[in-house]
Amino acid sequence: MQKIDFQLNHAQLIKGKLHQTLGNEKNFISNASNFVSLVYHNFDAVSWAGFYFLSNEHLVLGPFQGKSACVRIPISQGVCGSAARNKKTIIVPDVHKFPGYIPCDPTANSEMVIPVIYKNKLIGVFDLDSPIYNRFTQQESELISELLEVLLFNSIVEPLIRYYESTA
């Protein structure tokens, strides 16, 4: 019971921090950058966190925290591509066992990828890596999905969508 209470309190704290961080800012890239920082610094054992935005048949690197990353990922490959194609969150306890895994970070052992959907349209994915096997939970994916909804609701997203559609 105490662990569940802690998790609920932690979730509420992070949601409050996100609202405070976003404030009245509406620029999506600025807000997404702060969103990534908030997640990266408030979830234990995350070695990389960031966005990939959909541009035709590729996911293109967006704001992130961590080491340098793959810039373009074909939507047909990897954990990110699979989550984008299926529009479903994927939690991978051991990335080395995932068919078609793309090793952008050699220290990653587990990964969670959450599709970013705005007005019923896939615009990208939010990706998290960890050096710890079996690091990510369903509860965390639900929390981050809720946080993504807050980000999208409090940002002007259409210019980003138009940009990536025009560069396809």
All domains of the chain in start order, with CATH: 2-166 (3.30.450.40)
Beta bridge partners of 65: 49
Mean pLDDT of 79-93: 98
Q: What angle do CA 60, 61, 66 make, to 5 degrees?
A: 160
Q: Three-class SS of residue 90? A: strand
Q: Cα–Cα distance between 24 and 14 in angstroms, integer?
A: 18
Whether residue 6 is predicted with pLDDT greater than 50 in this model: the reply is no
Cβ neighbourhood burial of 72 (10 Å; 0-12, 13-18, 19+)? exposed
Q: Cα–Cα distance between 33 and 134 in angstroms, integer?
A: 26
pLDDT for the residue numbered 168: 60
Instruction: Name the phi and psi angles at 124, rounded to 5.
Output: 165, -160
pLDDT for the residue numbered 8: 57
Please write the tens of the pLDDT for every residue from 109-118. Answer: 999 999 999 9
| pLDDT > 90 in the chain, percent | 83
pLDDT for the residue numbered 124: 98
Please write the tens of the pLDDT for every residue from 12-47. Answer: 889 999 999 999 999 999 999 999 999 999 999 999
Q: Cα–Cα distance between 63 and 51 in angstroms, integer?
A: 6
Whether residue 7 is predicted with pLDDT greater than 70 in this model: the reply is no
Torsion angle, alpha carbons of 145, 109, 55, 85, to 10 = -70
Neighbours of 29 (CB within 10 A): 14
pLDDT for the residue numbered 10: 75
Whether residue 2 is predicted with pLDDT greater than 60 in this model: the reply is no
pLDDT for the residue numbered 5: 44
Whether residue 166 is predicted with pLDDT greater than 90 in this model: the reply is no
Per-residue burial over 44-67, b if 16 or more Cβ lie within 10 Å, else e, is: eebbbbbbbbbbeebbbbbbbbbe
pLDDT for the residue numbered 68: 94
Mean pLDDT of 117-140: 96
pLDDT for the residue numbered 51: 99
Whether residue 90 is predicted with pLDDT greater than 60 in this model: the reply is yes
